[in-house]
């Protein structure tokens, strides 16, 4: 019995090592100087250049225009993550409310119109989506960055499931008290959905922050670059340089993962709840 | 979805009481519908339409060419090679991500001490974006500084990621699997924890071998979770790995392996072959459609089981 437990722990520790070590190495290496990394390879020890590397990455103006800072990219990532999460919650709660709590002739039709979006992810229709954005003159805008990502039914599906599990008696009681649709939504449903909203917010924030393909297509103006979208630019600059800025690339990778990782770790319980109860 | 499926059976019927209003439901649906029409239906229809046309390279309109974009694509040996690589890549990523996730979940479910710590440490990589994982992977597979390359050299394997086709493919698969393990771990673990203690105890009485118990009792009970994850992992390998691939091949697709989605991107945005790219999009749409129908039918059936 003890023997098997021991091997269980060994396997788990190997798993933890594989998941954690690359990022620890990335962080440690980012505190060394570029020339140092070039000579000695990746590192597991503290290099002592943490402050200057991260300050340089965050505040130095770079890029082709010479005006983009890491801080600016971080701000754009934040706008995308927050805008997407909030937009998703508002849109999908309203739509789910209409579908579950109202009797109207086209309900089934609209239900299918919305849920068909689950069939085709954005990746398979990137080119025509880009053309539409061009026609609407939305490239290089925050609207163009965020709104097209909202065109899917994942959140609506989630809130629809949840609203259906809310006891009918609540609505009956509210109607006896004379509450109309707006009052019922704001005073009863929204407070009831608080945990659900938190869970979906975490999932959607991480999803929005981590977007890559769409921001790559939509933003050519570096002022709108997010951290995740900027990653490739960093790598491209290397081609032809003598000693690549390994330290800065690692620092940027660490900054790009920090906020979503923090949120997932701190709000782990809500995150798992949101994930296992909502996905697709 | 998983957690909610238990409720589904009783609650497929509508609410007993509902509001009725001539315009309010439409008002609440309007924002979502507007966005879906402009950013989902319009581009989707456009993709299908332009897959039947040949765009003039100088922008002087388009000619209807019927199915020829499709036949061109499906006859191209390059496209078929990429399709083959995509299939192999998807199969390997799915297989390894699922089996490692399952192994870790089973072990984490078994131990009592340190359970919560293991869980946190094993899931947090979920929050790392694919291109960021790709960047870290690039460093580990770097010619000059990469420890993996050094390790491989020790075994006599001269690894050249970015230059050698199969070495690049290997690195892509490793990074893609690494990134997807936490997701599978979370779902398998919550699936395992949903198995009632009474079932486990009964199984423990009937069968002493832990390994056989796992195969005959636990695994069949996990089948719904596993099937759901299978679809999700295939979708992940087909589409979400774009960031990993893009960072790893750095626009030099020439002798590097790429997947079908990357090809759509390359032809549409680098080669500006609108018709061909659209035809490829439609082919991918059909693949996703088949996967999704498969998934929905299965979920429907699962409700009856539970």
Distance (Å, rounded) from C-alpha A35 to C-alpha A247? 9
Closest by Cβ to A16, choosing from B121, B239, B288? B121
B4 has pLDDT over 50: no
- In terms of average pLDDT, the best of B56-70, B96-110, B159-173, B207-221 is B96-110
Closest approach of B243 to chain A, Cα-based (Å)? 6
Residue B169, CB-side half-sphere exposure with 13 Å CA sphere: 18
Q: In angstroms, how far is CA B61 from the centroid of its own chain?
A: 37
- Smallest Cα–Cα separation from B107: which of B122, B94, B93? B122
Greater pLDDT, B250 or B190: B190
Cα–Cα distances in angstroms (integers) from residue A210 to residues A81, A229, A257, B140, B143, in the given order: 8, 9, 8, 21, 27
Report d(CA B178, CA B97) in Å as an integer: 7
Nearest by CB to residue A148, choosing from B1, B20, B39, is B39
B194 pLDDT tier (thresholds 50, 70, 90): confident
CA distance A163 to chain B (A): 10
Question: How many CB atoms within 10 Å of residue A242?
Answer: 7
**The total number of residues written for chain A in this structure:** 280
Q: Give the DSSP per-residue string, A138-187.
A: -TTSHHHHHGGGG-SSHHHHHHHHHHHHS-HHHHHHHHHTT--HHHHIII
Rounded to whole angstroms, what are the CA distances from B47 to A123, B69, B74, B232, B284? 12, 12, 17, 24, 11
- Contact of A201 with A85, CB cutoff 8 Å: yes
Separation of alpha carbons B192 and B108, rounded Å: 10
Mutate to test the interface with A, among B20, B110, B135, B265 (most CBs of A within 10 A): B135
Check CB contact under 8 Å for A213 and B3: no
Number of domains forming the structure of chain B:
1
Report yes or no: A47 and A28 within 8 Å, Cβ to Cβ. Answer: yes
Q: Which residues of A touch B104 (CB under 8 A)?
A: 11-12, 15
Interface of A with B in 183-212 (CB under 8 A): 184, 206, 209-212
Specify the pLDDT at position B94: 96
Q: pLDDT > 70: what percent of chain B?
A: 89
Q: Does A279 touch chain B (CB under 8 A)?
A: yes
- Which of the four pLDDT bands, split at 50, 70 and 90, describes residue B10? very low
pLDDT value, residue B205: 84
Least confident of B4-13, B34-43, B231-240: B4-13
Q: Furthest-apart CA pair in chain B: how many Å?
A: 77
Is residue B73 within 8 Å of residue B279, measured between CB atoms? Answer: yes
- In angstroms, what is the C-alpha Rg of chain B? 24
User: Quick check: A64 pLDDT over 80?
Assistant: no
Q: Does the beta carbon of A14 lie under 8 angstroms from any beta carbon of chain B?
A: no
Residue A11 burial class via C-beta count within 10 angstroms: exposed 0-12, middle 13-18, buried 19 and up: middle
Q: Is B5 on the interface with A (CB under 8 A)?
A: no
pLDDT above 80: residue B299: no
Nearest chain A CA: its distance from B292 CA (Å):
6
Q: Is the distance from CB of B29 to CB of B21 less than 8 angstroms?
A: no
Give the nearest partner residue to B265 out of A12, A121, A126, using CB atoms: A126
CA distance B285 to chain A (A): 6
A125 to B281: CB separation less than 8 angstroms, yes or no:
yes
Half-sphere exposure of B1 (CA within 13 A, CB side): 18
pLDDT at B207 over 90: no
**pLDDT tens readout for residues A205-256:** 999 999 999 999 888 888 899 999 888 777 776 655 667 788 888 898 999 9
pLDDT, residue A142, reads 94
Do you know the residue count of chain B?
306
CA distance B3 to A264: 20
Range picked from A192-196, B9-13, B90-94, B247-251 for highest mean pLDDT? B90-94
Count of CB pairs separated by less than 8 Å, A with B:
307
- B278–A128 CB contact, under 8 Å: yes
Report the Cα B18 to chain-centroid distance in Å. Answer: 38
Q: Report residue A276 as tokens.
A: 């296992």
ipTM above threshold 0.95: no
* Cβ distance of B39 and A19 shorter than 8 Å: no
Please report the pLDDT score of residue B59 as a whole number. Answer: 61
Residue B265: give its domain's CATH number: 1.10.3720.10
Query: Measured between CA atoms, how close is A47 to chain B, in angstroms?
Result: 16
- Residues of A with Cβ-Cβ distance to B246 under 8 angstroms: 212, 216, 232
pLDDT tens for B107-142 read: 998 887 778 899 999 999 999 999 999 999 988 998
How many other C-beta atoms can be found within 10 angstroms of the C-beta atom of residue B256?
A: 21
* Contacting B residues, span 264-283, partner chain A, CB-CB under 8 Å: 264-265, 268-269, 274, 277-278, 281
Instruction: Give the span between the Cα atoms of B39 and B50, in whole angstroms.
Output: 16
Contact criterion met (CB < 8 Å) for A19 and B122:
yes
A279 to chain B: nearest residue by CA? B1
How sure is the predictor about A12, in pLDDT bands with cuts at 50, 70 and 90?
Answer: very high
pLDDT at A65: 65
pLDDT of residue A280: 40
Q: What is the mean pLDDT of residues B70-88?
A: 91
B195 domain residue, yes or no: yes
Domains and CATH numbers, chain A: 2-278 (1.10.3720.10)
* Model pTM score: 0.89
The whole domain housing B266 covers 77-305
A contacts of B265 (beta carbons < 8 Å): 126, 213
Residue B19 counted as domain residue:
no
Strand partners, B19: A102
Q: What is the 3-state secondary structure (H, E, C) of chain B?
A: CCCCHHHHCCCCCCCCCCECCCCHHHHHHHHHHHHHHHHHHHHHHHHHHHCCEEECCCCCCEEECCCHHHHHHHHCHHHHHHHHHHHHHHHHHHHHHHHHHHHHHHHHHHCCCCHHHHHHHHHHHHHCCHHHHHHHHHHHCCCCCCHHHHHHHHCCCCCCCCCCHHHHHHHHHHHHHHHHHHHHHHHHHHHHHCCCHHHHHHHHHHCCCHHHHHHHHHHHHHHHHHHHHHHHHHHHHHHHCHHHHHHHHCCCCCCCCCCHHHHHHHHHHHCCCHHHHHHHHHHHHHHHHHHHHHHHHHHHHHHHHC
Percentage of chain A surpassing pLDDT 90?
41
Distance from C-alpha of B46 to C-alpha of B198, rounded to nearest angstrom? 55
CB of A232 less than 8 A from some CB of B: yes
Going by pLDDT thresholds of 50, 70 and 90, the confidence category of residue B187 is very high
Q: Scan residues 12-31 of B and list those with Cβ closer than 8 Å to A.
A: 14-21, 24-26, 28-29, 31
Averaged pLDDT for residues B153-181? 90
- Residue B161 within any structural domain of the chain: yes
User: Which range among A19-23, A104-108, A114-118, B253-257 shows the weakest confidence by mean pLDDT?
Assistant: B253-257
């Amino acid at each position: 019995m003890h023997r098997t437990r021991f091997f269980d722990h060994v396997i788990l520790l190997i798993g933890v090592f594989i998941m954690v070590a690359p990022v620890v190495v990335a962080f440690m290496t980012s505190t060394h100087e570029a020339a140092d990394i070039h000579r000695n390879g990746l590192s597991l020890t503290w290099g002592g250049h943490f402050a200057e590397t991260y300050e340089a990455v965050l505040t130095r103006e770079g890029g082709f225009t010479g005006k983009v800072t890491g801080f600016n990219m971080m701000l754009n990532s934040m706008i995308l993550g927050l805008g997407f999460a909030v937009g998703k919650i508002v849109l999908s709660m309203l739509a789910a409310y209409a579908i579950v709590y109202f009797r109207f002739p086209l309900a089934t039709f609209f239900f299918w119109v919305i849920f068909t979006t689950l069939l085709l992810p954005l990746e398979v229709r990137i080119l025509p989506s880009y053309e539409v954005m061009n026609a609407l003159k939305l490239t290089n805008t925050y609207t163009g960055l965020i709104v097209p990502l909202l065109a899917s039914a994942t959140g609506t599906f989630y809130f629809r499931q949840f609203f259906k599990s809310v006891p009918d008696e609540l609505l009956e009681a509210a109607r006896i008290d004379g509450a109309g649709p707006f009052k019922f939504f704001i005073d009863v449903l929204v407070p009831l959905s608080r945990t659900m909203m938190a869970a979906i917010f975490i999932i959607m924030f991480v999803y929005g922050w981590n977007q890559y393909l769409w921001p790559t297509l939509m933003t050519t103006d570096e002022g709108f670059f997010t951290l995740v979208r900027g990653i490739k630019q960093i790598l491209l600059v290397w081609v032809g340089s003598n000693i690549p800025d390994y330290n800065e690339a690692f620092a940027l990778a660490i900054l790009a993962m920090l906020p979503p990782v923090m949120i997932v770790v701190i709000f782990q319980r809500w995150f798992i709840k949101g994930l296992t109860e909502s996905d697709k | 979805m998983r957690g909610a499926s238990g409720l589904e059976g009783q609650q497929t019927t509508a609410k007993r009481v509902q509001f009725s209003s001539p315009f309010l439901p439409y008002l609440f649906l309007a924002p979502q519908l507007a966005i879906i029409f402009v950013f989902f239906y319009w581009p989707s229809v456009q993709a299908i339409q332009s897959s039947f046309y040949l765009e003039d390279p100088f922008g002087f309109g388009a000619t209807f060419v019927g199915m020829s974009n499709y036949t061109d694509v499906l006859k191209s040996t390059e496209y078929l090679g990429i399709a083959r690589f995509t299939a192999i890549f998807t199969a390997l990523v799915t297989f390894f991500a699922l089996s490692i996730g399952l192994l870790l979940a089973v072990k984490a479910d078994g131990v009592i001490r340190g359970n919560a710590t293991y869980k946190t440490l094993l899931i947090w990589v979920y929050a790392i974006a694919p291109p960021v994982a790709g960047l870290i992977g690039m460093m580990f597979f770097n010619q000059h500084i990469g420890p993996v390359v050094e390790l491989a050299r020790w075994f006599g394997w001269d690894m050249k990621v970015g230059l050698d086709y199969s070495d690049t493919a290997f690195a892509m698969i490793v990074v893609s699997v690494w990134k997807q393990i936490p997701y599978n771990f979370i779902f398998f673990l919550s699936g395992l924890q949903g198995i009632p203690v009474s079932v486990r105890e009964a199984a423990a009485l009937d069968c002493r071998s832990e390994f056989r118990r796992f195969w005959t009792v636990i695994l069949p009970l996990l089948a719904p979770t596993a099937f759901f994850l299978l679809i999700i992992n295939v979708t992940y390998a087909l589409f979400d790995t774009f960031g990993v691939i893009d960072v790893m091949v750095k626009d030099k697709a020439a002798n590097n392996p790429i997947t079908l989605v990357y090809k759509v991107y390359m032809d549409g945005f680098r080669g500006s072959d609108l018709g061909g790219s659209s035809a490829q999009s439609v082919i991918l749409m059909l693949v996703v459609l088949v996967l999704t129908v498969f998934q929905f039918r299965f979920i429907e059936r699962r409700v009856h089981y539970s």
